[in-house]
Chain A
């Protein structure tokens, strides 16, 4: 609770709203002791006095009544009515919402229950009465029989056609009930009142629920939908029309039209909570539903109710003021802010101050409440607390404090000393801690590591695609053909994205735009870099789809991503990467979401493309089996750094880093790395608290005291390098 207030206080706008509201409420409560004039005392000699005139600080209205006093009383009234309406709407709406959400899947009626028979009875009774009246309400024997037969047949037909599920055994029950209802109706004759109709309506509703197998949730929400089918003012007007103008009736109307809003919101939240373990546990413990709702669900729902209330209360004050403004709310001489404004309207042009005073007051109150409401919502909504709703900038932020070291290698794409961090509040996560890597044209470099090892972040850093905030590139360089991309202007970076370096991502269902046809997405990839006509673009798109061996490419261009299989979607992803003939393709776990056969197809496709087009590929994976099929060289990453690097075959044959050795041991057979890295005991270190010395020390079975002292360099001879003081397989490697 105190954390909540601290958060609220930190929000300066909300604090402002809170202060204004406190002042207004305190003043309103102090009215009886304040030296105010009588708000109802008319003085026609002193009409429309201007503000700051003698004896009337804010002037007087058309009857010479003191505006300040009326304003204060009006404020008190408006606030009281607004809060009361919000409270009523929240209570009733939440009760409906919680009931519906908690009882999702609980049928209102189960088959064969007496209620169903009752429903048939009601329909029969209603139909019978109607028929009687149509026939002219003759209480003779003939009518009696006619009516019973007709309604019985009608109800039977209804039962038969409505739902085929209705088994033969139940039809007699339905017909009997309906016939019985019709007989009663006939016996009683046509009641001149609305009752038979209401009974039949309720019966029909029950029948619908019964046959449509609606659950409580569905039934309640249908009703709420019905209420929401009105523009709210119509319902409010109809209620006021029925009850008559008056402030209390306006309150009822405003509360009533806001019930659906609460019901919907609270239902959604309750559905989520009702499925959680602690609720199941309570059920298993034999707690009654009412107790579960009160002790388990309600406490979890209350914050949402508070949010919904705090964000709508201002609105309700406006609505009440509106009804009063129309003359349907508070009646003279009593006046809330709305009716003050309404009365002043006729003198708007000659004496605007009588309108401005109450109008500005409404504005101040509602604005303060809205500010406060937003503050309450932000303080209570955990999603906003973590700052997760930040939008990622077009390119990752760069904050290099030192000049990048010159490139050490002459590959087409070379990273040296690359450092990428995540800055979340006061914590710094070192996702990538100084990575040197390089690929040559036609070469495939694998980067392998567990999730969280920094391999994806390394890849995304190349084209500035790390989400920022929170990502920041804090050091090193990424050179494409010798040119440093880190800190390059956005337009430069953009023109190279997809054209020089293209990406293939992991889950193509999430990474392709769901609402555009794949052909259009391919054409867009091209047209982002050179202008291309509609027809030519389409031709090129088909060619690309053919290049990745998608059958029926001509018809597939016009499909949406969700209409394709996972493998086909990933082929589209690859086609998109190929669209501008890039020099380098970075594939970030492109086969992880696919099954083994499709995985093999995609790998061989990538391999062929590399051969045909001389592509450089950086292939990111956690699966050594995949690396073995495709990559010339491999770099193993752990906790943001490279721990071993070398030719794939050499490393597979004789891993030197204990971590690499474990990774390889985890692969049962090439290409079927289902039993993956989880088999290594322990977890990688959290990258905001990296230990001194070797990051793998806690999980290493060769660990030695010296491993934990000081930085361990990546050392090697010729093609291989390893970051370990006590490497394995040294003998074989030396041979």
Chain B
């Protein structure tokens, strides 16, 4: 197992390198001059040239790439000129908030989605199945940012149950309860689409598995139907559900951008959108690379989980 993990980590290196090349190349395409963007259009040419030299922007692109890559490997992602603080500090702080949000949503959508899918499959064509199918359809059709806005309208403005925005109360204690109250709406709104997708997939994976011979064997042994569904069928269906969980994690992370904007969540998605609109290139580069790297690592975790779950996979 340790060897397998190591192997997967090593194969991640070219992927990470590829990602940084892609990010750098896309950013290199950006027209215009960051120094002008920083100093404003009234800056003197001398000042622009000096700043460009300071930023290392006077060197050829490929050198910039290696300097950037080398610095990154040493943990130096540069400084955000807009925020005037190290990119890494900003990104890590923001990423933390995103992880809280996206992590909660991911757990929520995995559990809800799988349970809904299993119930749906176990009662195929029954009322539970029809109800779940309808809710799932609604869930994958509604834009999450619109859902979030409507939730704010109902639960924060009209019913005054939950705070409308932010991660922490402006005044008051920063305790778990406060966090949960702030987290409830955005986490739910973010999980809806993924829940729908996972439920759909779990349903069809379960239907596929339920027709297989070993299910008949379990029944012939006298295993109770509950055990047949949850122990035998679900366990086998998980083999095809888990990879989709990995993909959905990417979707949850992506959807977090909208939800962070709607709920004013201090996460990395909102930071990236702002950075793009302000052309804070180093911040965009650093943010994208770090999130992508985390996602790659997460997918390795998914693969490892998959191999733990399925003893037939050679490790």
Knowing that A192-B60, A230-B250, A231-B250 are A-B contacts, what are 10 other residue pairs whose CB atoms are under 8 Å apart, sorted by A's residue number? A197-B65, A230-B295, A237-B273, A241-B27, A349-B152, A494-B224, A496-B222, A497-B222, A505-B213, A507-B213
Task: Give the residues in chain B near A376, CB-CB below 8 Å.
Answer: none
Task: Give the residues in chain A near B272, CB-CB below 8 Å.
Answer: 234, 237
CB <8 Å contact, A322 and B221: no
CB <8 Å contact, A229 and B145: no
Known: A230-B295, A366-B141, A389-B208. A359 touches B61 (CB 8 A): no
Does B114 lie at the interface of the complex (its beta carbon under 8 Å from any beta carbon of A)? no
Most A CB atoms within 10 A — which of B124, B143, B232, B236? Answer: B143
CB <8 Å contact, B211 and A341: no
With both chains docked as a complex, state the minimum distance between the C-beta of A336 and any C-beta of chain B, in angstroms: 12
Contact of B221 among A201, A355, A576 (CB under 8 A): A576
CA distance A580 to B220 in the complex (A): 12
Residues of B within 8 A of A (CB): 15, 18-19, 21-23, 26-31, 60-63, 65, 121-122, 124, 137-138, 140-143, 145-146, 149-150, 152-153, 157, 204, 206-208, 210-225, 227-228, 232, 235-236, 239, 250-251, 253-255, 257-258, 261-262, 269, 272-273, 276-277, 279, 284, 288, 291-292, 295-296, 299, 309-312
CB <8 Å contact, B137 and A371: yes
**4 interchain residue pairs of minimum CB distance:** A233-B254, A359-B146, A498-B222, A367-B141
CA distance A510 to B207 in the complex (A): 17
Task: Give the residues in chain B near A348, CB-CB below 8 Å.
Answer: 149, 152-153
Residues of A within 8 A of B (CB): 133, 191-194, 196-197, 201, 225-226, 229-234, 237-245, 314-315, 318, 321-322, 325-328, 338, 341, 345, 348-349, 352, 355-356, 359, 362-363, 366-367, 370-371, 388-392, 394, 460, 463, 465, 467, 490, 494-499, 502-503, 505, 507, 510-516, 524-525, 528-529, 560, 562, 576, 579-580
CB <8 Å contact, B141 and A370: yes
Most A CB atoms within 10 A — which of B140, B220, B225? Answer: B220
CB <8 Å contact, A345 and B62: no
CB <8 Å contact, A391 and B211: yes
Most B CB atoms within 10 A — which of A326, A356, A498? Answer: A326
Closest to A236 in B: B254
With both chains docked as a complex, state the minimum distance between the C-beta of B240 and any C-beta of chain A, in angstroms: 12
CB <8 Å contact, B311 and A194: no
CB <8 Å contact, A359 and B150: yes
CB <8 Å contact, B29 and A193: no
With both chains docked as a complex, state the minimum distance between the C-beta of A64 and any C-beta of chain B, in angstroms: 22
Closest to B204 in A: A389
Show 13 A/B contacts (Cβ-Cβ < 8 Å), sorted by A.
Answer: A191-B60, A194-B62, A197-B62, A226-B18, A231-B295, A232-B254, A233-B255, A234-B254, A237-B276, A238-B26, A341-B149, A370-B141, A391-B210
CB <8 Å contact, A495 and B222: yes
CA distance A166 to B261 in the complex (A): 55
Closest to B212 in A: A510
Contact of B296 among A229, A515, A525 (CB under 8 A): A229
CA distance A345 to B146 in the complex (A): 9
CB <8 Å contact, B236 and A513: yes
With both chains docked as a complex, state the minimum distance between the C-beta of B132 and any C-beta of chain A, in angstroms: 14
Task: Give the residues in chain B near A391, CB-CB below 8 Å.
Answer: 121-122, 124, 206-207, 210-211
With both chains docked as a complex, state the minimum distance between the C-beta of B121 and any C-beta of chain A, in angstroms: 6
Task: Give the residues in chain A near B30, CB-CB below 8 Å.
Answer: 241-242
CA distance A507 to B213 in the complex (A): 9
Task: Give the residues in chain B near A239, CB-CB below 8 Å.
Answer: 26
CA distance A244 to B27 in the complex (A): 11
Task: Give the residues in chain A near B212, CB-CB below 8 Å.
Answer: 510
Task: Give the residues in chain B near A242, CB-CB below 8 Å.
Answer: 26-27, 29-30
CA distance A465 to B216 in the complex (A): 7
Task: Give the residues in chain A near B142, CB-CB below 8 Å.
Answer: 362-363, 366
With both chains docked as a complex, state the minimum distance between the C-beta of B24 and any C-beta of chain A, in angstroms: 10
CB <8 Å contact, A231 and B145: no
Closest to A190 in B: B60
CB <8 Å contact, B141 and A497: no
Closest to A239 in B: B26
Task: Give the residues in chain A near B141, CB-CB below 8 Å.
Answer: 314, 363, 366-367, 370
With both chains docked as a complex, state the minimum distance between the C-beta of A545 and any C-beta of chain B, in angstroms: 16
CA distance A196 to B235 in the complex (A): 52
CA distance A597 to B15 in the complex (A): 51
CA distance A239 to B272 in the complex (A): 13
Known: A193-B60, A237-B273. A394 touches B225 (CB 8 A): yes
CB <8 Å contact, B214 and A230: no
CA distance A367 to B62 in the complex (A): 47
Task: Give the residues in chain A near B143, CB-CB below 8 Å.
Answer: 318, 321-322, 325, 338, 341, 359, 362-363, 366
CB <8 Å contact, A345 and B23: no
